Structure 1
C-alpha cells in the first residue's frame, strides 16, 4: 500500500474537475490540490512563464511527498509535460500525467466523421499541442484520411468560471461568438481543451447542438491515473483518505468557489504557505 497523496494542480478551480474524477474513480486515494490563483489565468501568459510557475508548484508538491503528479491544466500540459516527466519521473520515479493525450484518445474513438473541434486558452491553441497529440494516433488518419481538426481559442471562458458564471444567456452569447468556425466545419466531436470548460458544458452543448459529442479530459485522465497506479503497484487502501486543497492566492476566495464545483469534500482551502507546516 502506498498512502502518499496524488498531487494535482491547475491555474485555479478548473483542475478540480480532474480531482473530482480521481476521487470518484479512486475513493481510497488521498489528494493534495494546488490552485495557482495568484497567477490565474495561465492562458494569456507566455508558455515560458507558465513553465516557471508550473515547475515551482510541482517542486512544492514533490517536497510535500506526493507519489504522482497530475497537471490538470491544458496550458501547463502544453508548456511543461515533457520536461516534467524527465525531471520527476525520469530522475525521481514520480509519474507525471497531463490532460491532453487522454482527451485526444477519447475524441479519436468518439468521432464518426473525422471532423473534430478543439477549444482552449490562447496559449494552448497557439502551442499546437492538440494537433501534435492527434498525430500520435495514426489509426485516426487511416479511418479518416481527411481528418480535420478545427481549433478555436475561447479566452473569456476561464474568467467566467473563476467568477462563478457558468450558465445563462451571457455565457451562451460568449460561446456563440466563438463557435462560428466549429459550426461551419460541422464538427461532430468537441474537445473541451481546458479543465475549466466542463463547468460550462451546459451552455457549450446548447450552442453546439445535441449531435456534437463533448469530450472532457477529466474522466479519461482519472483512468490514466488508475493505470499508472496499477502498473507501479501504488494503490492506497485508506478508509479515510486525506484531501487537502491549497491556493497560491487568497484561500478565502478560492474555498467557496471550489466547494461550489467539487462539493463539501473541499472543506476549507489553505494558503500554500501552510503546505508543509
Structure 2
C-alpha cells in the first residue's frame, strides 16, 4: 500500500457474520393476539356465558322445600266413589282435600337431588247408607288422613333459571279413615255379628312419582309446581273394633266393596324452596 494509506484489514476470528433478514411471512389475518380464530373465540365466549349463567344460581348444596295444595283420590284397592250402581251398602265418594309436604335433601352436580320427604294428604269422605247424594247428617266418616314418608331421588335438567325435574320416591304410608262415633257398623270376617268400627286403616309400601317445574327468583330461592302421584300399595285393610279395641285385618284379595282404604292419591301443589 502506498505510504500514508492503510492497507486492507483482515480478521483472524473466523468467517464473516451473516445477517438473516426478519421473516416476511404474513400473519394469519383471522388470528388475534391470543392466537385464536374468530370461530374459536366465539365458542369460548359461549362456554363462558353458559358457565356464568349456571353460576348465577345456587344449584349445589342443601335443599329445603315446602309444598301446599290440593289432594284428590284415585281408586286403588278401594274405590273412590259408588253412586249405588256398584255392590256395597255405602254410597258416596271421597272428595278433594288439603295436601302439603316437606322435602329436605342435598343437590349434587346440579342434576341430582337426594333426600327425605314427608307428605300429608286429607280427603273428604262423603259416604253414607242410603241414596246419593248424602247429606251432612248421614255422613259415616269424619275425615280421612294419609301420612307418607319417602326417600327421594330427583333428576333435574337446569335450563337458565328454570329446573325441570322428575322425582321417584319409594316409601311407607298410613291411611286412616275415621268414622263418626257409632255410625260405621260392619260384620267382619270370622266375626259372628256386626260391630261398630272405631277406625278403618291400612299401611305399607308406597311409591311417589312427581314431575317438578321450578324457577329461581333469586340466587338461592325458587318457586314452582309439583304433581304427586302417590300409589298406596298396602297388603291389608284393618278395622279397629269400637268395643274390644282389637284390630281385624283382611287381605287385599278379600272382596269387600265397602272398604275405603287403601286408595291412591294425586297431589297438585305449589312449592317454595331454597338451596344453601
| TM-score interval, normalised by the smaller of the two chains | under 0.3
- Quick check: which one's helix share is greater? 1
When normalised by structure 1's length, the TM-score is 0.24
- Compare relative contact order (CA 8 Å, sep 6+) and give the higher one, 1 or 2: 1
When normalised by structure 2's length, the TM-score is 0.24
